[in-house]
Amino acid sequence: MILHYLSLLEDNHVLVKDYKMSYYKKDIIINLSEFLSYLPKKLDKIYVLLKNSYELIIAIFAANYIGADVCVLNYNYTKEEINKIIEELGEGFFITDKDKSELIKQSEKITIEYGNFFNKKLGYSIIDLNKKDSNLIIMTTGTTGSPKAVMYNWDRLVNQVKKNTDKNLSWLLVYPLNHFAGIQVLLYSLVNQGTINIPRSNSFLDLYDSINNGVNAISATPTFWRMLIGYFKKMDITNLNIRRITLGGEIVHQDLIDNIKKVFPNSSIVHVYATTELGSCFSVKDEKEGFPISYLQRKVGNVELKIIDGELYLKTDKHMLKYLNSNIKLSIVNDWIATGDLVEVRGDRVYFLGRKNEVINVGGIKVFPAKVEKEILEVDGVKNVRVHAKKNPIMGNVVCADLEIEENIDMNKVINDIKNKCAHKLNKYEQPVVLRVVGRIDRLNEKIIRRS
C-alpha cells in the first residue's frame, strides 16, 4: 500500500528534501531498486538502524516491497539495548551504517549488511509494486517505563491516514522515523502528496534553515514547541510561512496554543490524541485546549470516546496489533480501551489532567502534575517544567518542580512569581514544596521523561 501511494506520485514530485538536495520520486525509485539489489529476495524481518532519515525511508519502502516486517530502531540505542531487542524479537536481516563490532554480539543467526547503498546511481528501473502484507515494528518512547515493541500492519496504518485537501504541505521532520509520530509524518506526506524535510540536525539554527527553505507544516511535541517558540521570539521570522502546526504526545495547554499563534498568526493549529500503542485517534482543530464534550456523544473519525471514573476510554480500530516483547495486552473490555489518561469535564469541554500512573498522592489528596505544570508554564521566564513527587515522611509525597529558566533573567524573581501564582491558583497540596532550577530537563524524543 505504501508503494501504491509512491507510484501515484508524479515523477517530478519531491517527496523528501534534506539540507543538501531534493529527492524526486524518480530518484527514490532508482535508489529503491538499487537498495533491493543488495537484499535477499525473501526476508521475514528487517532491522533498520540508520542515521540518515532518507536512507531509512528507502529501507522502509524496500521492506514493504519484499513483504518483510521492518523494525525501525532508535539510532541512539546502546549495544546492550539492541541486543536485548534482538533477543526478544528474534533474528532478522540487519541494515545499518554502524560497524558490526560496535553493535551486535557475535551470533551466527544474524546476518549483517552494512555500508552505504547510496553512493552509486543505477539506471531507472520499473519496480513491480505488488501489494504485500507486512508490518511495522516500532518501540515505544519509554518516557514512562522501558521501551516496548509495538506491531502495526502497514496497510492498516496507511488506510487510517486522513486524506487532506490541502496539498503541497511541506513537513519538517522533527521526530525521528523510529518514532510513531515520525512514521505518521512520512505516511501523511506520502498519501497526501506532500514533502518531508529532513533537517541537518535538530539544533535551532538547522531547524530554522530547513523551515526557511520551504517548510510550511510542522508536527512536534508541546515541549519542542515551547523551546522553538522561545527561540523564535527573539528573531525576525516574518519570512517563515508556516500554515499547518500539529501538536501531540503530551498535554497541550492553552497558553502554548496562544503563544504559537502569536508567532505564526497564519497557521492553523491542530492537536492530536495519538500514542504509539493506540495510533492516531482523534484531533482537535478549534485551537482550544482539551476537546469538545460533543466528542463524547458522536463518533470522531471512527473513534468513540467515553469517560469512566475520570479516565478516558476509546473504542477504536486504529490501535496496534500487539506488543511483541511483553505479556502486557491493551486492556480492552467490550471493545473499549482504557487509555490511562485522566480527564475532567468543565462546561462544554473535556480537559486532560495527566496519566493515571503519574498522579501524586499528597496525604491522600490526588495531585495532577499537568495542572501544576500548566500554572508554572504561564509564568514569564519559564521555558520548561517537570513536576514530580518527592517522598515525604509526613504526607507520603510532596510536589517538586524542576525548572528550565530563560537565560539572562532574574532567577529569584521567576521563583517568587511561580510561588505567588501557585499560592493563588493551587491548593496547598498542589503547590510545589521544592522548586529546583536545572540546566535541562531530561527528555526523550522531545517529550519530558516521566519515569522516576
Number of residues near other proteins (by CB under 8 A) = 13
| CA contacts within 13 A on the Cβ side of 402 | 14
Minimum distance from residue 305 beta carbon to other proteins (Å): 36
Minimum Å gap between C-beta 394 and other proteins is 4
Residue 366 sits in the site that holds other proteins (CB under 8 A): no
Q: Which of 229, 433, 441, 449 binds other proteins (CB under 8 A)?
A: 433
Single residue of 40, 115, 301, 363 touching other proteins by CB under 8 A:
363
Nearest distance, CB of residue 366 and other proteins, angstroms:
15
Radius of gyration of the chain (CA): 23
CB of 362 to other proteins, least distance (A): 8
Site string for other proteins, 320-359 (x = CB under 8 A): ----------------------------------------
Q: Is 449 in the site for other proteins (CB under 8 A)?
A: no
**Residues 113-142, interacting with other proteins (CB under 8 A):** none
**Within 404-423, which residues bind other proteins (CB under 8 A)?**
423
Quick check: 434 binds other proteins (CB under 8 A)? yes
CA angle 23, 28, 33 (to 5 degrees): 155
Distance of closest approach, residue 390 Cβ to other proteins, in angstroms: 7
Considering only residues 382 to 401 of the shown chain, the ones binding other proteins according to CB under 8 A are 390, 392-395, 398
For residue 192, the tally of other CB atoms under 10 A from its CB is 18
Comparing CB distances to other proteins, the nearer of 13 and 390 is 390
- Phi/psi region, residue 334 (left: phi>0; alpha: psi -120 to 50; beta: rest), is left
Q: How far is the CB of 73 from other proteins (least distance, A)?
A: 42
Mark the segment that binds other proteins (CB under 8 A) among 39-47, 151-159, 251-259, 427-435.
427-435
Minimum CB separation from other proteins for residue 411, in Å?
Answer: 16
> Shortest distance, CB of residue 373 to other proteins, whole angstroms?
19
Q: Which of 302, 428, 438, 442 binds other proteins (CB under 8 A)?
A: 428
Please report, as ranges, the residues that interact with other proteins according to CB under 8 A. 362-363, 390, 392-395, 398, 423, 428-429, 433-434
